[in-house]
Structure 1
Amino acid sequence: MLMNAITTDAPRDASTLANAETEAALLGAMMMEPQIIDIAADRLRIEDFSEPLHGRIYDAIVREHSLGGRPTPITLRPIFLNDPADLDVPSYLAQLTGSGAGLVGYRHFIDQIENLSQRRALALALDDARAGAADFAIPLAELVDRADAAIVASVERRESSKSTTLSGSIGMAAKRIAEIKANDGKVGFTTGIRQLDETLGGFEPGCLTIIGARPSMGKTAVACSAALGLARNGHGTLLVNLEMSAEQVGMRMASDLCCRAPQNWIPFERIVNGTTNAQEDDLLAKAGEHVKDWPLAIEDGAGMTLARLILKVRRHRRQMAAKGQQLRVVMIDYLQLLHSDDRRQSAYETVSEVSKGLKAMAKELGIAVVALAQLSRAVEQREDKRPMLSDLRDSGQIEQDADNVLFLYREEYYLERKKVSKAAQDDHERQLAETRGWLSLIVPKRRQGRVGESTCLFLSNYQAVRSAEWGR
């Protein structure tokens, strides 16, 4: 048979991860039934075929079809008269249409070809990682990053477009409206911090939200309080901190958790310094016991790459699912500390790649991604310190990819450091008293809603953020 004359370029150790007969049957079905071409073209790439000749035939069929032609052994014959394959390709094309078996099982064939292609790519990635491990000139950390990136690339499919009818789109909109009404007007997952939830509408699945601020504005406190609130409301949350260890994050959250009733407050500084008393130690132990079943995970990862982050998110998603929980929100503190898989990239290129990758991850996994971001020092050079979109550091791509942008601003911080004359001292003290403990939430971009601003409480001694009316 002509099939037996085909040789494969697939690596020897991946020879069992190919099925030339399946590929041949699908190609024959595509030439016999044009409707199958569109279905296959939405799923398969040329490189998904283990036999190079089959990839070339597939490409010719799709091109002929896209130009309005009818791909058949006859119409494709001129393309393959000088093909480099070591057999009579025009005759082989006729052989492919000799059986109608592919017309019945073409969907299964597409699934198998795609699956085997991914498995071959994974096998090659693992082989490359094994070979690299023997090269001691390559740092171990770089090897791990390369392996992570290769594995992610091998199993992730290219982004595929999805289409629907107008009626279907309206149906989706109606379903979304019903969900918003059932969630008290919120479109996403809520934190319990009223002003934050109302300003953003909650963290919505498939969306990337950027929370930007200068140092000491309370970014990490917002992330920790929001993560605790999300988990308290039953929304599975993963907090990835690239700057602090899990222990350091835990100390902040412990102070936040104990800041619920006047008699339970434990200042963050006392927890850090280990100067808590016996009663406070008991409260901390009870807080830890109280949250042990909450759907909240903390991942610390200094020097983490985008590829490794995606792997960890997928792993935590599986682990939560095994517990009957669902990962809803991933929070990253902070964006500029994520590395590209290509260490040669500039800071601008790295931030752009990371930004696009986070948005793609949100869409693909159907989760809300919240990334904290450091703002440019240009803020400090202005008289008005309130952040603007142009202050997003390193890349305009962040603003483009983000569905929502939230800026944090504490006027109290700048007033405390402002030098004033004796004549203006009274007025300065009044302004300081009015702004003490308040955190401004500024939303200059919200893709699915109105921009605006609100104010909530920032309890700096307890590293906690609360609704404006809290405790009143």
Structure 2
Amino acid sequence: MADGTANLNADDYIQPHNIEAEQALLGALLVNNEVYDRVSAIISDSHFYDPVHGRIYDIAAQKIQKNTLASPVTLKAFLENDEGLKELGGPAYLARLAGSAISLFAARDYAQLIYDLAIRRQLIEIGREISAKAASVEVDSEPAAQIVEAEQALYQLGEKGQAERGFQSFLRSVSDAVAIANQAYQHGGGLSGISTGLKDLDNRLGGLHPSDLLILAGRPSMGKTALVTNIAFNVAKAHKRGIKTDGSEGTIDGGVVGFFSLEMSSDQLATRILSEASRVPSENLRRGNLTEEEFRRFVEAAKELERCPLYIDDTPALPINAVHARARRLKRQHGLDLLIVDYLQLLRPASAKDSRVNEVSEITQGLKAIAKELDIPVIALSQLSRQVENREDKRPQLSDLRESGSIEQDADSVMFVFREEYYREREKPGDDNVEAMMKWQDDMSRLHGKAEVIIGKQRHGPIGTVELSFEGQFTKFGNLAKPHQVSGDW
């Protein structure tokens, strides 16, 4: 069908398509391989209505990506035994395609037409599936779950141009891996993800990687919320849009941040971030006890924050499917490059479970699914069990995670915030014990203003400890200058 319309009166839809447009675009590609650079950001082989055309485009794309010629002659060897091509006349069909080529300048318009018709076909398919599932009344198929599935399918179609991903060739996976390595190389090495704004943490993690679930855990008062708000502010503050390496427009530095604050209200969280940005103690902000200089810094920090793409949702006790839906909506409306959840034990499962372990398992699997579907890093804060307090060495470890099985299994990285100063401060000896007091003072001097991020698990690199500075009055973590480093580097 040439005009792409559908017979809506018939039960069996005529799928929207335009064979002539597909033939003309493929002909132009085989005559002039530069066409690929103009259309590759718009269409893929899955958007062609005729599966033979899709296979021709895929093989041509592979050859062009390897900097080799894609022409009717070079493609002939790869398609001689293709049964679908034989029905169209065999390798001679490739020559006929070249004969129907369009101009280089019209290629993008033809590619857009092919893409739009493919989207229409997928919309029809999604509509059929929604209708069929809604008509099938089953005990394990709740309407609320069907709505979430429909929204997910429509999101993927709108965002990525395909409702279902399915299998993809190893070549495409290799190309993605090369693109990630190239991005790290362009950053001067060591960083392929979003920068946290903390140099040593970036060096150890390689930045925050898309599709990763990172767990940040710690006992109360260790500063895990402070650290994650610091990261959120650093990422949002550095946000820049531009043309990415694949030619599309999007985030090239920093990112848009979504923050689910289930424990603190949005104004409390904003106060923390303002305290860090203005370097005014948070208790002074709450009391309004500010000097003229502090108030000036506070106003300047507030103006800077107004421009930061940081979105806060402080709805309590959200179910994991609601988090998924809201994150998906935020990405569609404003973009989303990093999602933060404070903290995962305050989330609820989509439906009641027979045990808390199974509930937490559904939540962590849901967070990982968000990271993969939206192709963003997700940082989730987690509590630690009290058994940490019973040990002489208070440094946390993986077994200290509450419901650690599912959290440890689903996470790509697990990090712990630890401040030994907090514990040593509570071990102050009596004034009559001079020797113990001197040792305590030495320890406090050595530990003052220092914190550790202990990486207990990391799929992309080694585990270990990263030392950071910590200014409690501003709830601010920062880079810790080492003796061998020049102050100008920080």
- Give TM-score, length-normalised by structure 1: 0.68
**Does residue 402 in structure 1 map to residue 411 in structure 2?**
yes
2:468 to 456, 462, 465: 456
Structure 2 residue aligned with 1:353: 362
**Does residue 290 in structure 1 map to residue 304 in structure 2?**
yes
Please show how residues 1-400 of structure 1 align to structure 2 within 5 Å.
Answer: 20-22=11-13, 111-117=122-128, 119-120=130-131, 149-157=145-153, 161-165=166-170, 167-184=171-188, 185-234=190-239, 235-259=255-279, 266-320=280-334, 326-400=335-409
Question: Identical aligned pairs, as a percentage?
Answer: 34
- Cα contact 1:213–1:409 (8 A) shared by 2: yes
* 1:156-193 Cα deviation digits (max 9, x unpaired): 3597543313x443333222211111123212100211
Q: State how far apart, in whole Å, the 2-side matches of 1:377 and 1:119 are.
A: 47
SS of equivalent to 2:378:
strand
Letter in 1 for 2:216: I
Offset of 1:395 from its aligned partner? 3.8
- Cα contact 2:209–2:377 (8 A) shared by 1: yes
- Cα contact 2:217–2:383 (8 A) shared by 1: yes
**Does residue 467 in structure 1 map to residue 479 in structure 2?**
yes
Letter in 1 for 2:297: L
Offset of 1:119 from its aligned partner? 4.2
SS of equivalent to 1:455:
strand
Q: State how far apart, in whole Å, the 2-side matches of 1:391 and 1:367 are.
A: 27
Q: State how far apart, in whole Å, the 2-side matches of 1:237 and 1:431 are.
A: 38
Q: State how far apart, in whole Å, the 1-side matches of 2:331 and 2:120 are.
A: 29
Check 1:300–1:356 CA distance in 2 against 1; reply closer, same or farther (3 A cut): same
Check 1:107–1:287 CA distance in 2 against 1; reply closer, same or farther (3 A cut): closer
- Cα contact 2:257–2:339 (8 A) shared by 1: yes
2:459 to 441, 447, 452: 447
Offset of 1:409 from its aligned partner? 0.5
- Cα contact 1:352–1:395 (8 A) shared by 2: no
Letter in 1 for 2:182: A
Offset of 1:354 from its aligned partner? 0.6
SS of equivalent to 1:152:
helix
Offset of 1:349 from its aligned partner? 1.2
Offset of 1:110 from its aligned partner? 6.2
- Cα contact 1:121–1:155 (8 A) shared by 2: no
Check 1:314–1:107 CA distance in 2 against 1; reply closer, same or farther (3 A cut): closer
User: How many residues align structurally?
Assistant: 350
SS of equivalent to 2:306:
coil
Q: State how far apart, in whole Å, the 2-side matches of 1:109 and 1:289 are.
A: 44
- Cα contact 1:23–1:109 (8 A) shared by 2: no
Offset of 1:406 from its aligned partner? 1.0
- Cα contact 1:23–1:113 (8 A) shared by 2: no
Structure 2 residue aligned with 1:61: none
SS of equivalent to 2:12:
helix
Offset of 1:461 from its aligned partner? 0.5
- Cα contact 2:278–2:294 (8 A) shared by 1: no
User: Unaligned 5+ residue runs, structure 1?
Assistant: 1-16, 26-34, 40-105, 129-145, 260-265, 321-325
Letter in 1 for 2:184: I
* 1:27-83 Cα deviation digits (max 9, x unpaired): xxxxxxxx98xx9xxxxxxxxxxxxxxxxxxxxxxxxxxxxxxxxxxxxxxxxxxxx
Check 1:225–1:384 CA distance in 2 against 1; reply closer, same or farther (3 A cut): same
Check 1:465–1:164 CA distance in 2 against 1; reply closer, same or farther (3 A cut): same
Letter in 2 for 1:200: L
Q: State how far apart, in whole Å, the 1-side matches of 2:472 and 2:10 are.
A: 63
Runs of 4 or more above 6 Å deviation: 106-110, 121-125
Letter in 1 for 2:217: G
Q: State how far apart, in whole Å, the 2-side matches of 1:315 and 1:112 are.
A: 19
Q: State how far apart, in whole Å, the 2-side matches of 1:114 and 1:220 are.
A: 44
Letter in 2 for 1:267: P
Letter in 2 for 1:224: T
* 1:83-132 Cα deviation digits (max 9, x unpaired): xxxxxxxxxxxxxxxxxxxxxxx97896255321354379789x99xxxx
* 1:211-257 Cα deviation digits (max 9, x unpaired): 11111110111011100100122111111111011000010001000
Structure 1 residue aligned with 2:25: none
Aligned-CA RMSD value: 3.2
Offset of 1:276 from its aligned partner? 2.2
- Give TM-score, length-normalised by structure 2: 0.65
User: Unaligned 5+ residue runs, structure 2?
Assistant: 1-7, 17-49, 55-116, 154-162, 240-254, 482-486
Structure 1 residue aligned with 2:438: 426
Offset of 1:384 from its aligned partner? 1.0
Q: State how far apart, in whole Å, the 2-side matches of 1:156 and 1:123 are.
A: 16
